[in-house]
Amino acid sequence: MRSNEVKAGIEHAPHRALLKSLGLDNEDLTKPFIGIANSYNTVVPGHIHLRTLGDAVKEGILSAGGTPFEFNTIAVCDGLAMGHEGMRYSLPSREIIADSVEIMIQAHRLDGLVMISNCDKVTPGMLMAAARLDIPAIILTGGPMAAGRFNGKKVSYSSVPEALGQVVAGKMTASELAQLEDVACPGCGSCSGMFTANTMACISEALGMSLPFCGASLAMSARKVRFARQTGKRIVSLVEHNIKPSDILTLDAFKNAISVDMALGGSTNTVLHLPAIAKEAGLTLPLSLFDEIGRKVPHLCSMIPSGTYAIEDLDRAGGVPAVMNQLQTLLALKALTVSGKTVAENIKNAPVIDADVIHSLTDPVHAEGGIAILTGNLAPKGSVIKTAGVSPKMFKHIGPVKVYDSEKEAITAIRGKQICPGDVVVIRYEGQKGGPGMPEMLIPTATIAGMGLSESVALITDGRFSGATRGGSIGHVAPEAFDGGPISVLQNGDSVTIDIPNRVLKVNLSDEELKTRLASWKPRKPKFTTGILSRYAQGSFE
């Protein structure tokens, strides 16, 4: 055991003295040392209940013959960070989380790792750390909150920013907005739609890194507590059998995860997170792989924000195993999971309980997956769109651009009713370096949707979108404006063509005109010269 480096032999008496100061006895020191990385805090709604889950994990570890050590990581609530400078810190937090877990595990020579997570950047950060450390590890995602109810319909966090657009358009009163605000998020947990947090929870399960049925189980449920206790027990077995992330996080596992993402119509942010996790595992996931799988795997679940079902409905309908059961002809079934079983064994007895929520391959919501990769002279290195949230009316669109050099400028224009049907809103200098931090932009997309323009107005950015975004919203345009990508030289009135079926994103300019504009482009100075954002803008985390 790695932990023998701090507990075995006479030479480690000083280490044992410190460990005994924690209340441990000699018997505790003979057992595997299990680290519990917990992102519990009282700021983030998705994390406020994780202390309870941490206690259950410890009970499981103790009952299985391990010695638990719990520590914390940071966590950013993207909903609270949305629409202001705080959002620039969200994506960089992923790397800080991964680094902090690595430091705690390596410094103290722990034998195994349980990661208790929820929300957008925390789950991928934890998984990055697990892949990097390659010691026995398992993740317990904290689960979604229940859906809210408003005027007889299910609502979620994303309903509120869209309602702001309705207020701007005169379709809702401020009083009605206040009523919605009170019921949209009825309790703790990750926001109740197929946003980034829940997408990553489901993907963690599809990767094989969390126990079957864990991903969609509700935050405030006895079932989640049972998963926590089972997770604690399971990590001890993983240590005893030396089953490591490298045994699980294979290319087949990542392909399975992308397939499940496509079937669920998950967040576009997975094209950032899955490659980052794969990189830590020594693998490469090109954007082309997402598109290749997306063309083969149909969209099976119509989930909020673009559909009608919340994560609680997915759980009730059979959860991730039932989705994977429907997809089994398209999956690598021999892939190993933290349960100690293969994917095939995990999904063998996982029927679909509600076919309205989880469709079959022969009756999909859409024939292709929920995410597409678009390329062209406007995005030579690619761009991403959540097709599951796009109206068929916007699958092909040609329109004039209105260009804004920041999210703030765009929001002012949208709320000022300066955007017309047919327009293509372009928000640039919001990428990883230009932002910096590649902030999520839910406010402009939700406002457009709330104003009733989501079927006639497109939005293109070198930044990224929230998992709650719907409509003709294309993000991750690369190269970004800060690096002199073509998006940097767009001008008001230029015509842009969006062709989702043919995966095309282009500006309708001659090659000569585009080349001339790019030749005259001048770099901008970084927005931040100190602190973590300056380091992120310089690529220090790549």
Token pair recorded at residue 32:
């595997």
Provide the Cα torsion 29, 54, 200, 87; round to 10°: -110
CB 332 within 8 A of CB 343: yes
* Exposed e or buried b per residue across 108-129, where buried means at least 16 C-beta atoms within 10 angstroms of its C-beta: bbbbbbbbbbbbbbbbbbbbbb
- What ranges in 208-318 are assigned the alpha helix state H? 222-240, 245-248, 251-264, 270-280, 287-296, 311-317
3-class state of residue 463 by DSSP: coil
- Beta bridge pairs of residue 440: 464
User: What distance in Å separates the CA atoms of residue 355 and residue 300, rounded to the nearest whole number?
Assistant: 10
Sequence length of the chain is: 542
Containing H/E element for 443? Answer: helix 442-450
Q: Measured between alpha carbons, how far is residue 40 from residues 62, 95, 121, 478 in Å?
A: 20, 18, 14, 35
DSSP notation for 141-182: E--BPPPEEETTEEE-TTHHHHHHHHHHTTSS-HHHHHHHHH
CB 389 within 8 A of CB 284: no
Containing H/E element for 381? Answer: strand 379-385
CA-closest candidate to residue 368, choices 306, 472, 295, 300: 295
Q: Catalytic: which of 158, 192, 466, 488? A: 466
User: What distance in Å separates the CA atoms of residue 111 and residue 87, rounded to the nearest whole number?
Assistant: 35
User: Nearest 5°: phi and psi at 420?
Assistant: -115, 155
Token pair recorded at residue 164:
């702001």
User: What distance in Å separates the CA atoms of residue 409 and residue 418, rounded to the nearest whole number?
Assistant: 11
CB 191 within 8 A of CB 157: yes
523 contact partners, CB below 8 Å, separation of at least 6: 482, 484
In whole angstroms, how large is the CA radius of gyration of the chain? 23
* Exposed e or buried b per residue across 369-399, where buried means at least 16 C-beta atoms within 10 angstroms of its C-beta: bbbbbbbbebbeebbbbbbbbbeeebbebeb
304 contact partners, CB below 8 Å, separation of at least 6: 147, 154, 156, 158, 192, 193, 194, 310
Active site residue 466: yes
According to DSSP, residue 32 is labeled: P
Q: Annotated catalytic sites, by residue?
A: 466
